[in-house]
Structure 1
């Protein structure tokens, strides 16, 4: 069992959880993830690691409450225990001295971009971090990310904080004012796709952390397969990081929606259980 040290909702539907997991905290690197099970019969949930403290043996995960399993996870409190926690899994993000790196995080990706921005800064890069949300009340960890960035930019679609508009517009403004050597994007599939499309005309290497449906997490089941430059890859072992210009986004989006009907039925059943 893995004890929850701290758990709180940091903005609506986005939760932060710190868990005692010494073996994982000792070895994890930026870009890696864990598989979480709330209880013995629970779904295996892949969640990227957002931070860690090797001395205290604690890892931090940031997740969005969207379905049955993440709702059950969100209901846990400080002092509760997770049934299972496996990791670190996946290949770490490539951390080198690229030059000027634009790191983009949206939704739960604001949390997961933090260790990447931090590692790139420590490697000697100029780090520009762009945080994206629908509105200012959905932004979080600004101070934390400002501390590991040369420049922190905020983008809200309703204009309540920072730049007003959408990520492609912001990317165009940034790359036109200075040379960007690499772009790294964490967040929902749509954000990864539009950011990759926006950087493609400029020829900037763009790395995205893919989040397909996943079960095993070690390359055995093949559920997380994605098409990269026409070749089948497994996000759990070949990724989760891939070149965004090589991803077949149509296939990825189609596969992610394959069980939408069952997911809706599951959350409705849970809601009925909660009422009655």
Structure 2
């Protein structure tokens, strides 16, 4: 059992929790995720690690209740315990594992949309702690949906905030703000990390491709099981089938087939849709379960 030592409501629809999980806190790296189960027989919920405190033994998760399990998790209070908290899973961010001299040459901009601000934060924090400067763009529909602004401002060289309705910061979306920074403020970037809703990542990648900026995206939003067995996070990257949970969650954003992924995500939401995908995709439907040969 894993105790919830802190719970905070970041805005009307997003929660932050610190979970006591010392082993995970000591080993998790930016870009990785965990799987939490509320109860012994509960559904597996993959969530990106938003922060760690190895000294306190805590791992921070940030989530938006959208399904039954995350709605249930939002009802847990400080002092209560979740049944399991497994991780770290997935591959760490390339910025963390690449040669430090190469990272130092990068002029990095992080682009975060909505709850995607949470998985961006540990990467920006890591950059700051290792002496690397970076710019950060945070976007949301309105001011009330902006999260973790103060935390991000403490670790980013420059933080730029935008809202679709203009209620706070730059009026417009993240791609429009990026264009303004490059074209009007003469900012130069040679590396981008984009995390947020799939549609936002798609258009952000179209923008960075226009400016010839290599771009990494996190496909955590499409994960369900987190082990490659359910087939939910099957995605095509550079014409090859990949699974976000076991091959990622980070990929080259300019090579991801976002349209296919979003269509597939919509179909997967129904039981009949899942059966249809399993039939159509056959041996490539699962990513490591060992049962693909049984698909007909």
TM-score by length of 1: 0.90
User: Please, which of 113, 118, 134 is the counterpart of residue 106 of structure 1?
Assistant: 113
Deviation at 1:79, TM superposition (A): 0.9
1:51 — aligned with what? 51
User: Please, which of 205, 208, 221 is the counterpart of residue 196 of structure 1?
Assistant: 205
- SS where residue 257 of structure 1 aligns? helix
- SS where residue 137 of structure 1 aligns? helix
User: Any idea what the Cα deviations from partners look like across 1:2-29, whole Å, max 9, x if unmatched?
Assistant: 1100112110110001000011001000
- SS where residue 150 of structure 2 aligns? helix
1:138 — aligned with what? 145
In 2: Cα distance, 1:244 partner to 1:175 partner: 19
Structure 2, unaligned stretches of length 5 or more? 96-102, 272-296
Counterpart mapping for 1:223-234 below 5 A = 223-234=232-243
Contact 1:43 1:69 in 2 (8 A): yes
Q: CA RMSD in A?
A: 1.5
Are 1:25 and 2:32 an aligned pair? no
User: Please, which of 180, 192, 217 is the counterpart of residue 189 of structure 2?
Assistant: 180
TM-score by length of 2: 0.84
Are 1:77 and 2:77 an aligned pair? yes
Are 1:206 and 2:252 an aligned pair? no
Deviation at 1:249, TM superposition (A): 0.7
Contact 2:33 2:49 in 1 (8 A): yes
- SS where residue 160 of structure 1 aligns? coil
1:267 — aligned with what? none
**Once structures 1 and 2 are overlaid, which stretch shifts more, 198-207 or 116-125?**
116-125
1:42 — aligned with what? 42
Structure 1, unaligned stretches of length 5 or more? 263-276
User: Please, which of 199, 218, 234 is the counterpart of residue 227 of structure 2?
Assistant: 218
In 2: Cα distance, 1:93 partner to 1:167 partner: 21
User: Please, which of 223, 230, 244 is the counterpart of residue 235 of structure 1?
Assistant: 244
Deviation at 1:215, TM superposition (A): 4.3
Deviation at 1:72, TM superposition (A): 0.5
Deviation at 1:197, TM superposition (A): 1.1
